[in-house]
Amino acid sequence: MDINGKMAGKNVVSEALAASRKYETQNEIDKNERPLFHVTPPVGWMNDPNGFSVYNGKVHLFYQYHPYSTEWGPMHWGHQVSDDLIRWEQLPVAIAPDTIYDAEGCFSGTAIEKDGEHVLIYTSVMKNPDGDGVLQNQSIAVGDGVTYKKIQNNPVVTGDMLPEGLSRADFRDPKAWLEDGRYYMAAGCVDQDNKGLVVLLSSADMESWTFESILARNEDDLGGIWECPDFFKLDDHHVLLVSPTGMKAEGYEFHNGNNSIYFVGEFDKGEKKFDGGEPLSLDYGTDFYAPQTTLLPDGRRIMIAWMQSWHNLWIPGGQKWQGMMTIPREISLKNGRLIQKPVREIEKYHANMVRYSDEVVSGRRSLEGISGRSLDVTFVITGNKYSRFTVNLAKGSGYYTRFIYDRENNIIEMDRTFAGFEKDVVCIRRACVKSAECYGDVKEKVDEQQEAQDSIKLRFILDRNSIELFVNDGAMTMSTAIYTPIEADGIELLCEGQAVVDVEKYDII
Ligand code: FRU
């Protein structure tokens, strides 16, 4: 594609784009009123991460953005960049809904480098000229890492390219990659029975695309449209992430409504089909959706997600921003399961270490120096002479969010009932504790499992309005938003029985 040609002489910023940039600059909320190191919108509403990519030596993160209110509205793409995935710099709004083909919104998508330029592929939503509802197509904007221009040939992918029976109204959230000299795009869709699936298209030049296959589909009971697919190689396997709408709860594994799930399997390059095995939950907290990954030059695959839920939206009156991202997480595979760890760059911001070893905890305990709301704190709890061990975080008068490890049943329960909500949002989630060894049928590891269960490692990342729990070095995670007054910064331990605890705490500054 002659992207350069398309760019030539087109430095006109539309009224909608100029207005959104002016609005976000003039109304930017003080950084002290937002989380310290998690991405938040400068003002207004944010949902899915978009275009998570490395370009010109920086990590770029775009996001679904409605600057004008704290509610979802006509979707723009906000934009921030980072050198280390922890400190983010605000850049101007990248794209706004300002053409006929995206007048109903610039929905989620991807970013990829081509011929030295940064290419955004997004879902352009327009009214259906021949009927009711909307059409969702895929369009392109090309830029230099700061300023982006939509190309003349948009949309480059339309629903007409899909086989009969696939939706034109629910066809969105492309993720693109380059493989063997060809560009590929995975996007979410539904069939006539409203079952979610992922389609695969390919292109030599990113301008003309061909339908390749249905990469994967909902064969079971895994919800409606599979939003925000991501598909990548990890170690010797392929991983598919999708965020299905309208799922039903299944034990502790899934919950009602929008979930984020993953499959680990094999990609048949000839058939262009992915055989993914059983669906697994990506996160067991209340707030985790639409994850997207990127590959760093050093080979690490990094995942980031919207740390919020479509069904549990609440912010305190007067708060002028809504929505944040998780901490970026390094992901890897172990025993066929995804392991997630906060990016190691967080350690650069560690300060004021406080450490305890072999503390015997029985009943209620607070530990001198273990408190705060922007923290990286790890508890290793050992022993088999207790039934339940609770960590209360963000604790102040009348407030706390608790994580209860029920050792006998091998369950963790998180409960944010007293985190400051004034709406009846979902507050409690439970999950079976996992460790990298406990997964799968690795029989020879049974003894180790036994041992592993006598010791559990809970690492919490707190950042003013969120708590992310990484259990057993990232074998499972629970992410939750909290809106507790910032003064509530206590941490309290509660042991029913007696346990031995190691603690390591760092403030994040
Ligand atoms: C997922 C999603 C996407 C869509 C976007 C719109 O949260 O519904 O499917 O592109 O949000 O903002």
- Domain count across the chain: 1
Report the distance separating Cα 57 and Cα 263, nearest Å: 31
Ligand 1 nearest atom to the CA of residue 310, by list position: 7
* Range with the poorest average pLDDT among 7-21, 30-44, 232-246, 295-309: 7-21
CATH number at residue 402: 2.60.120.560
Report the distance separating Cα 276 and Cα 264, nearest Å: 5
**pLDDT, tens digit, for every residue of 74-106?**
999 999 999 999 999 999 999 999 999 999 999
**pLDDT, tens digit, for every residue of 264-284?**
999 999 999 999 989 999 999
Q: Which residue of 172, 261, 325 sits with most ligand 1 atoms within 8 Å of its CB, as the best mutation to test the pocket?
A: 172
The secondary structure of 66-81 as a DSSP string is: ETTSSS--S-EEEEEE
Domain-located, residue 319: no
State residue 220's pLDDT score. 86
Domain-located, residue 493: yes
Contacts of 244 (CB under 8 A, 6+ apart): 196, 218, 222, 223, 224, 225, 226, 227, 258, 259, 261
State residue 12's pLDDT score. 65
Instruction: Report the nearest-CA residue for atom 8 of ligand 1.
Output: 227
**pLDDT, tens digit, for every residue of 102-141?**
999 999 999 999 999 999 999 999 999 998 999 999 999 9
Report the distance separating Cα 102 and Cα 16, nearest Å: 12
Its pTM stands at 0.95
pLDDT range class, residue 436, cuts 50, 70, 90: low
Report the distance separating Cα 16 and Cα 23, nearest Å: 10
pLDDT range class, residue 1, cuts 50, 70, 90: very low
- The reply to whether 48 belongs to the active site is yes
The parent domain of residue 491 ranges over 346-437+446-508
| Whether pLDDT at 300 is above 90 | yes
Domain-located, residue 411: yes
**pLDDT, tens digit, for every residue of 415-426?**
999 999 999 999
Q: Compute, in angstroms, the gap from residue 47 CA to the centroid of ligand 1.
A: 8
| Whether pLDDT at 164 is above 90 | yes
Q: Compute, in angstroms, the gap from residue 440 CA to the centroid of ligand 1.
A: 33
| Whether pLDDT at 8 is above 50 | no
Say which of 2, 30, 48, 268 is annotated catalytic. Answer: 48
Instruction: Report the nearest-CA residue for atom 9 of ligand 1.
Output: 227
Ligand 1 nearest atom to the CA of residue 123, by list position: 10
pLDDT range class, residue 151, cuts 50, 70, 90: very high
> Which has the higher per-residue pLDDT, 166 or 436?
166
Q: Compute, in angstroms, the gap from residue 107 CA to the centroid of ligand 1.
A: 6
Domain-located, residue 241: no
Report the distance separating Cα 114 and Cα 176, nearest Å: 11
State residue 340's pLDDT score. 98
Q: Which of 192, 195, 201, 336 is nearest to 276 (CA)?
A: 336
Domain-located, residue 399: yes
Region 307-320: mean pLDDT is 95
Domain-located, residue 492: yes
State residue 434's pLDDT score. 79
Domain-located, residue 172: no
Ligand 1 site residues (CB inside 6 A) read 47-48, 64, 75, 107-108, 123, 172-173, 227-228, 289-290
State residue 437's pLDDT score. 52
Domain-located, residue 191: no
Q: Which of 237, 235, 215 is nearest to 226 (CA)?
A: 215
Please, what is the Cα angle at 434 between 251 and 426, to 5 degrees? 45
State residue 13's pLDDT score. 85
Q: Compute, in angstroms, the gap from residue 318 CA to the centroid of ligand 1.
A: 25
Region 211-220: mean pLDDT is 95
Q: Compute, in angstroms, the gap from residue 439 CA to the centroid of ligand 1.
A: 32
